[in-house]
Structure 1
Amino acid sequence: MSRNISQAMATWLASDVLTFATCAQITRKDGTAFGFTDHDADIVYNGFTYQSRGGYSPSAVEAADDLSTANLEINALFLDSGGAVTQADIEAGLWDNAAVLIFGVNYADLTMGQVNLTAGNLGQFTILNGGWKVELRGLAQTLQQTISQMYSPSCRALFGDSRCKLTPPTASGMVASVTTAGMVWSDPSLTQTGPVSEYIDTIGYTIPTASPYQIIVVPPSGSWASSVSVVDGGKQTYGQTGGSPGNLQYSVTPNADGSATYTFNSNNAGNEIFINFNYAQGYFSFGTVRWTSGANAGYSFNVRTFSPGVVTLSLPTPFPISAGDQYVITAGCDRQIGTCVARWNNVVNFRGEPYIPGPDVILAPLS
């Protein structure tokens, strides 16, 4: 961001300044640009209009020479009509990470040019009573982001992207009835049943040292289906039993919330174990829904869970979902190695390292 200013601007700033105004030019990721000013009237500068409506007000800018993130917030009001920023667009993510340039001008003499104050990207929004607030993340924020790939047990590719190399299955549907406003609806035409995949435990658990010597496992998605194996750090396999477990045995009970409770013998308390199990997924879980009609037409949302005929979103839609609304739903992936093998047969393109030992194993003392 250049801070070069004209001689006329420099001379004016060195005097008693009475006609200074700040302008903010915000460019969204879709390429649409908007202008705002804290002046009491619109400012047309370089052929671009900076609106005064909405009560735009920036906070003081705090910056340092140690590459720490600059601190600034922008406050404004929602307008009943004609407002550039609406609550629905904020909640739909249209303003996420938009580019911002804030500069100052002499509104009494725009020929002096501008003095750039700060630049960056919009960060976290806060919805207020009748208005909104957003943080401006300075350019130094980019230096704090991870730009290289890091080891992870789950896949780093996005399902269906150029690294995954798959084409996610899709289906068209229409809302039959709404169960929870903005989040859950039913559609009998969605009869797809989810696959059963194996969860491979690479992190491990420690059996509690006090009664009832139980561990609760939670699947990445869906619900626990069956046990595959329980193995300790020394490769000793535990046997499954339907009664009270003895030494090197366990019993397992499914829970109503989709998890499962593993019970062990007191003789094995404190042992580190790895629990592998099968779990059933919803066919469209972790996928997306794009609305093609209704009040939410054009918006896309993530699917949290799916069972035949019932879709649950991760977050509520900005507008109510109504019976008859049409949509396109796309299947997702929980990025586990078992899912990649059993469901998609795409392990050759799996972008994770599921068999790298966890920190407990790496940091364990040598025996």
Structure 2
Amino acid sequence: MSRFFEGTVTTLAFCWRLDRRDGVTLGFTSHDRDLMIGGISYRAAPGMLPSAIHRSAGFDADSMDVRGALADDAISEADLSAGRWDGAALRLFAVDWTAPDEMVPLARGELGTVELSDDAFSAELRGPTATLERAVVELTAPECRAELGGPRCRIDLAGRRRFARLVAAEEERLVLDTAEPSANAYGGGVLRWVRGRNSGLTGAIMASAGAEIWLRDPPAFAPAAGDRVEIVEGCDKRFATCTGRFGNGVNFRGEPHLPGNDLLTRYPGG
């Protein structure tokens, strides 16, 4: 434990480092002045406060809440609603603000559920042990459980991602300046905004036809013609698609020929 805990507690300050999935890193502190630590400026505004930190030596999931004020130039309501902070990596540590080079780690994890109320927000911190709450054994299903391009799928996506410019947009429907390589090639894929107000955000593609694609949800911010996007091909998880389109049946992670529960209800002559 750091020596500064043995001294006066008036020099104690909490610091948060937030690393968003789009590469943006921000630092905040509970101190009343900004602190420079490790080349990162930890801002005193918006003020952020942690709840009681619960840590265990067992396998129970550690949890903590982080609360703070909304600020247009730091954490805005629009960015929170758009999902820019979903899954952001968070590290909480304590420092002596008179000599902030020495840090005492307190908690780490990723942001979970974010709630907005008035001019403030609260977010749940999910620690590393939260991953133990996931299902251990996979359920059988006729569709593939692997992610296209993932280590279990092994399809190389290098030639299946393209950059395009937006021509027109209407709710979930987008028109691009490039056509799909095959029918519904981007259905089940991902669109990532590279330029424009939505830069850094991603969206799931439901279907594609020619130069048109349909997203699962409308963009968080109104897009403009000329915005650049990256589009990645998708897969409908069917065995016929895996073998016919990708030639990857050997890595199919589903059970398309396994009888379902309806087999138990069958009877002679039924």
Instruction: Give the match's secondary structure for 1:110.
Output: coil
The structure-2 alpha-carbon separation of the partners of 1:314 and 1:117, relative to structure 1 and needing over 3 Å to count, comes to same
**Which of 330, 336, 350 matches 2:232?**
330
2:265 and 2:91 mapped to 1: Cα distance?
51
The structure-2 alpha-carbon separation of the partners of 1:22 and 1:95, relative to structure 1 and needing over 3 Å to count, comes to same
Matched residue, 2:208: 306
Per-residue deviation, 1:332: 1.0
The answer as to whether partners of 2:37 and 2:101 remain within 8 angstroms in 1 is no
Identity of aligned residues (%): 29
Q: How does 1:85-234 map to 2 (within 5 A)?
A: 85-86=75-76, 90=80, 95-107=85-97, 109-110=98-99, 113-146=102-135, 151-162=140-151, 163-167=153-157, 169-170=160-161, 173-180=164-171, 183-187=172-176, 190=179, 194=183
Per-residue deviation, 1:69: 1.7
| Residues 223-245 of structure 1: per-residue CA shift (max 9 Å, x gap) | xxxxxxxxxxxxxxxxxxxxxxx
What is the TM-score normalised by the length of structure 2? 0.76
| Residues 195-221 of structure 1: per-residue CA shift (max 9 Å, x gap) | xxxxxxxxxxxxxxxxxxxxxxxxxxx
Per-residue deviation, 1:137: 1.0
The answer as to whether partners of 1:173 and 1:190 remain within 8 angstroms in 2 is no
2:217 and 2:50 mapped to 1: Cα distance?
29
Matched residue, 1:53: 45
The answer as to whether partners of 2:20 and 2:89 remain within 8 angstroms in 1 is yes
The answer as to whether partners of 1:124 and 1:134 remain within 8 angstroms in 2 is yes
Larger Rg over CA atoms: 1
| Residues 141-165 of structure 1: per-residue CA shift (max 9 Å, x gap) | 1333357766443223322345332
Q: How does 1:52-71 map to 2 (within 5 A)?
A: 52-64=44-56, 66-71=58-63
Is 53-62 or 290-299 further displaced after alignment?
290-299
1:112 and 1:171 mapped to 2: Cα distance?
44
Q: CA RMSD in A?
A: 3.7
| Residues 237-270 of structure 1: per-residue CA shift (max 9 Å, x gap) | xxxxxxxxxxxxxxxxxxxxxxxxxxxxxxxxxx
- Any gaps of 5 or more consecutive residues in structure 2? none
Q: Give the counterpart letter for 1:301 in structure 2.
A: G
What is the TM-score normalised by the length of structure 1? 0.59
Per-residue deviation, 1:54: 1.0
Is 68-77 or 337-346 further displaced after alignment?
337-346
Per-residue deviation, 1:59: 1.7
The structure-2 alpha-carbon separation of the partners of 1:159 and 1:49, relative to structure 1 and needing over 3 Å to count, comes to same
The answer as to whether partners of 2:92 and 2:107 remain within 8 angstroms in 1 is yes
The answer as to whether partners of 2:37 and 2:100 remain within 8 angstroms in 1 is no
The structure-2 alpha-carbon separation of the partners of 1:111 and 1:28, relative to structure 1 and needing over 3 Å to count, comes to closer
2:230 and 2:101 mapped to 1: Cα distance?
52
2:36 and 2:229 mapped to 1: Cα distance?
41
Q: Give the counterpart letter for 1:340 in structure 2.
A: C
The answer as to whether partners of 1:25 and 1:101 remain within 8 angstroms in 2 is yes
The answer as to whether partners of 2:190 and 2:233 remain within 8 angstroms in 1 is yes
- Any gaps of 5 or more consecutive residues in structure 1? 195-281
The answer as to whether partners of 1:45 and 1:110 remain within 8 angstroms in 2 is no
Matched residue, 1:343: 245
Q: Give the counterpart letter for 2:170 in structure 1.
A: T
Matched residue, 2:68: 76
